[in-house]
Structure 1
Amino acid sequence: MKVKNYLGILFLATAAIGCVSPPENFPSAPEISFSRVEFVPIQGAPDSLIVSVDFKDAEGDLGLGPRDFNPPFQPFDYVLTETGSRISYSNRPPDAPSYNPRDWRILDPVLDNVTVRDTLWIRPNPDHNNIFVRFFIKRGGDYQEFVWEGPPYYTTFNGRFPRILTDDRERAIEGNISYGMLSSGWQAIFRNDTIRLDVQIQDRQLNRSNTVSTPDFTLNQVTRR
């Protein structure tokens, strides 16, 4: 397998929502249930693996907007020394990871009107995202997690879906979220493997939902015809 063919994996989130007048016992932490999973090959472009979940939430504080990048939703935090200094790759300690696009960020800070290019150690912030997807391959009756964050991919299919309500007025809602993950490598990586996805979502108060699992499937079984 040529690893370089599968780096730079992208994701895309869309939401289709129905707001209702639900019973008063809707959960404060979001509650989800599995809806469907579908694989959509796209000629000349990355293919899409789409997982959909139904949700209920008492406050309606689901989704993140294009301006939701301040704490606690920042993309990452800098790893600091005991004295509070940022750690560059050239001065990294022995326990620092080797360079990879997940743990290191190339920045162009401006100091005294001079651009100083540097590579700094970072720690991705999980709360930057609000939908979390784990992949499992089933072999011999056992599930083994397929970890995207480690070598050789150093990526993630966790992502963000947009705000469901356009204002901050609390009200109970329910609906469906379809989350499409784009990659040119789905078929080459999983081929005929039996796989399963585990999905969670998170509201803006950082309350995580329950975890739901898809049924076992192969890409061929869920391909859109």
Structure 2
Amino acid sequence: MKNRLLKSLVLGVVVMGLAWACQPPDELPIIPKISYNRVEFFDEATGSDSLILYINFEDGDGDIGLRGSEENYPYNKYNFIIDSSNPRKFVFIGGDNYTPPFYSAFDENFNRLPQQTLFSETDIRRPYNCEQYEEVEYFPSQTATTTKIDTFLVARNPNNQNIFVDFYRKVNGNYEFLDWANVFSSNGCGGNFNARFPIFDTDNLGKSLSGTLRYSMLSAGFGIVLKKDTFKLKVYIKDRALHDSNVIETPDLTLDNITLN
């Protein structure tokens, strides 16, 4: 029952919608720039409520958006972690005899990354959590004919997504980060509102592009968590060349003030 409730409130809550206009702005920089437009809230009688964010964007070379099928480096979901004693010794949740430091070295398809990077100077494995571990089915050797399932230590790849939304709730006059991953979960499995939006105009990649992005977030938990509270969002996007845009903040919001029905 608890798992079903968690799924209905948080997991799988992000969907995308687009409302954009292609314009020919003059000599825009290739690093994307965004600005706040508005936020709307739809309180559904049944099912998930919708919090819809509108942001204006512009990008000098129009390389915005990711296809759903783009899961290879540099857009893969996560990287496997190895220890310093063996370049092919993967770190598992319950393994032992590891020698830190740990390195991010292989993508989720077990392909070696162009360059391994430091993940941790020490053994930072903790009890299972959805941020740090991934359960993977794999062939344990090149000659194996049957697969095995293990829980690997992984590094999440932020380049897998291209829109990033953080919530901040106002408490006693100060804003506090609202960690959706742990609101209904004790192991960080509640998810968040980061996602990816698709390519706007494949035929015109490389050309200046501007418009408005309509980003819809679904959750049955908005009314439960935010209630009558004041909150705000911090948002940025990333282009295909992995340039981060500026970070914008919404004004103070309440669900009552942005509800449309």
Q: Same fold (TM over 0.5)?
A: yes
Question: Is 1:16 aligned to 2:19, yes or no?
Answer: yes
Confirm or deny: 8 A CA contact 1:196 1:214 kept in the other structure. yes
Cα deviation, 1:146-181, whole Å, max 9, x if unaligned, reads 123456343221110000112364110110101111
User: For the structure 1 residues 134 and 160, does the alpha-carbon distance in structure 2 shift closer, same or farther, using more than 3 Å as the test?
Assistant: same
Cα deviation, 1:86-137, whole Å, max 9, x if unaligned, reads 1112216652021022221111113412121111111110111100111101
Q: Tell me by how many angstroms 1:65 deviates.
A: 0.7
Confirm or deny: 8 A CA contact 2:57 2:211 kept in the other structure. yes
Cα deviation, 1:2-48, whole Å, max 9, x if unaligned, reads 79533424211222221122122x12111111011011123332212
The CA RMSD over aligned residues, in Å, is 1.9
Confirm or deny: 8 A CA contact 2:10 2:180 kept in the other structure. no
Match of 2:164 among 132, 152, 162: 132
Question: Is 1:97 aligned to 2:126, yes or no?
Answer: yes
Tell me what 1:197 maps to: 233
Q: Tell me by how many angstroms 1:216 deviates.
A: 0.6
Give unpaired runs (5+ residues) of structure 2: 99-122
| Structure 1 residue matching 2:71: 3-state secondary structure | coil
Q: How does 1:171-186 map to 2 (within 5 A)?
A: 171-186=207-222
Question: Is 1:170 aligned to 2:206, yes or no?
Answer: yes
| Structure 1 residue matching 2:159: 3-state secondary structure | helix
Q: Tell me by how many angstroms 1:202 deviates.
A: 0.9
Cα deviation, 1:170-193, whole Å, max 9, x if unaligned, reads 110110101111111111111111
Between the aligned partners of 1:123 and 1:97, the Cα distance in structure 2 is: 14
Tell me what 1:120 maps to: 152
Identity %: 31
User: For the structure 1 residues 145 and 207, does the alpha-carbon distance in structure 2 shift closer, same or farther, using more than 3 Å as the test?
Assistant: same
Number of aligned residues: 223
Give unpaired runs (5+ residues) of structure 1: none
Between the aligned partners of 2:74 and 2:229, the Cα distance in structure 1 is: 37
User: For the structure 1 residues 66 and 168, does the alpha-carbon distance in structure 2 shift closer, same or farther, using more than 3 Å as the test?
Assistant: farther
